[in-house]
A and B are shown apart, each in its own frame.
Chain A
Amino acid sequence: MGNYSIVAEDLTYWYGDLVAVDHISFHVADGEILGFLGPNGAGKSTAWKMLTGQLKPKGGRATVLGRDIAEDSQKVQGEIGVCFEYTNLYEQMSASENLRLFARLFGVRRFDDEALLRRVGLEGWGKHRVEEFSKGMKQRLMVARSLVNQPKILFLDEPTSGLDPVSAEAIRTVILEERERGATIFLTTHDMMEADKISDRVAFIDQGKIVALDTPHNLKQTYGKRALKAEVAADGGLENIEIPLDMDETPDAVRELFSQKKVITIHSEEATLEDIFIRITGRGLQA
Chain B
Amino acid sequence: MNWRTMGILVSKDFTLFFRNRFFAVITILGLVAYAAVYFVMPSSVNETLEIGLYAPVVPPALEVMQEAEGGLEIERVESEEALRGGVSGGQYMAGLVFPADIMEKFEQNQRPEIKVYVASDMPDEIREVVNSLITEMAYLQTAQALNIDWQPEILGRDMAGQQIPQRDRIRSLFAIFILVTEIFGLAGLISEEVERRTAWALLVTPMAVRDLFTAKAVLGTIMAFSQAFLLLAVVGGLGEQPLIVVTALLLGAVLVTGVAFLVASLAKGFLSIIAWSVPVLVVLIIPAIGIMMPGAISDWIKAIPSYYLTETIYQVSNFGAGWGDVWRDLLILAGFNVAILSVGVLALRRKFQ
- Interface positions, chain A 2-20, Cβ under 8 Å from B, are none
B120 in contact (CB, < 8 A): no
Q: List chain B residues, Cβ under 8 A from A107.
A: 4, 206
Closest beta carbon of chain A to B188's beta carbon, Å: 12
Q: B-side binding surface: helix, strand, loop or mixed?
A: helix
The 3 closest A-B pairs by CB, nearest first: A78-B206, A88-B197, A82-B204
Closest beta carbon of chain B to A74's beta carbon, Å: 5
A145 in contact (CB, < 8 A): yes
Q: Which of the segments A98-106, A116-124, A166-174, A185-193 contacts the partner chain? A: A98-106
Given A84-B200, A88-B196, A105-B202, 7 other A-B contacts at CB below 8 A? A75-B206, A77-B204, A82-B201, A88-B198, A88-B200, A90-B196, A97-B15
15 contacts between A and B (CB under 8 A): A52-B204, A54-B200, A54-B204, A78-B205, A82-B201, A84-B201, A86-B197, A88-B200, A89-B201, A90-B16, A93-B12, A101-B12, A104-B8, A105-B8, A106-B205
Q: How many A-B residue pairs have CB under 8 A?
A: 57
B166 in contact (CB, < 8 A): no
Cα-based distance from A86 to B199 in the complex (angstroms):
13
A40 in contact (CB, < 8 A): no
Chain B residues proximal to chain A, CB less than 8 Å: 4-5, 8, 12, 15-16, 19-20, 196-198, 200-208
Given A54-B200, A84-B197, A105-B8: A92 and B20 within 8 A (CB)? yes
Closest beta carbon of chain A to B213's beta carbon, Å: 15
Question: Which partner residue on chain B sits nearest A79 by CB separation?
Answer: B206
Task: Count how many chain A residues have C-beta atoms less than 8 Å from C-beta atoms of the other chain.
Answer: 25
A53 in contact (CB, < 8 A): yes
B5 touches A105 (CB 8 A): yes
A89 touches B204 (CB 8 A): no
B196 touches A91 (CB 8 A): yes
Q: List chain A residues, Cβ under 8 A from B12.
A: 90, 93, 101
How does the 8 Å CB contact mask read for A51-78 relative to B, with 1 for contact and 0 for none?
A: 0111000000000000000000011011
B16 touches A88 (CB 8 A): no
A145 touches B206 (CB 8 A): no
Q: List chain A residues, Cβ under 8 A from B201.
A: 82, 84, 88-89, 102, 145
Question: Which partner residue on chain B sits nearest A56 by CB separation?
Answer: B353
Cα-based distance from A77 to B197 in the complex (angstroms):
18
A93 touches B15 (CB 8 A): yes
Closest beta carbon of chain B to A137's beta carbon, Å: 17
B206 touches A74 (CB 8 A): yes
B206 touches A105 (CB 8 A): yes
Question: Which partner residue on chain A sits nearest B5 by CB separation?
Answer: A105
Q: List chain B residues, Cβ under 8 A from A89.
A: 198, 201
Q: List chain A residues, Cβ under 8 A from B19.
A: 92-93
A54 touches B203 (CB 8 A): yes
Cα-based distance from A77 to B19 in the complex (angstroms):
29
Question: Which partner residue on chain A sits nearest B21 by CB separation?
Answer: A92
B206 touches A106 (CB 8 A): yes
Q: List chain B residues, Cβ under 8 A from A77.
A: 204-206
Closest beta carbon of chain A to B321's beta carbon, Å: 44
Question: Which partner residue on chain B sits nearest A149 by CB separation?
Answer: B205
Cα-based distance from A97 to B196 in the complex (angstroms):
17
Closest beta carbon of chain B to A106's beta carbon, Å: 6
Q: List chain B residues, Cβ under 8 A from A78.
A: 205-206
- Interface positions, chain A 38-60, Cβ under 8 Å from B, are 52-54
Cα-based distance from A106 to B205 in the complex (angstroms):
6
Closest beta carbon of chain A to B59's beta carbon, Å: 76
Q: List chain A residues, Cβ under 8 A from B20.
A: 92
Cα-based distance from A86 to B194 in the complex (angstroms):
13
A74 touches B208 (CB 8 A): yes
A102 touches B205 (CB 8 A): yes
Most buried by A among B196, B201, B203, B207: B201
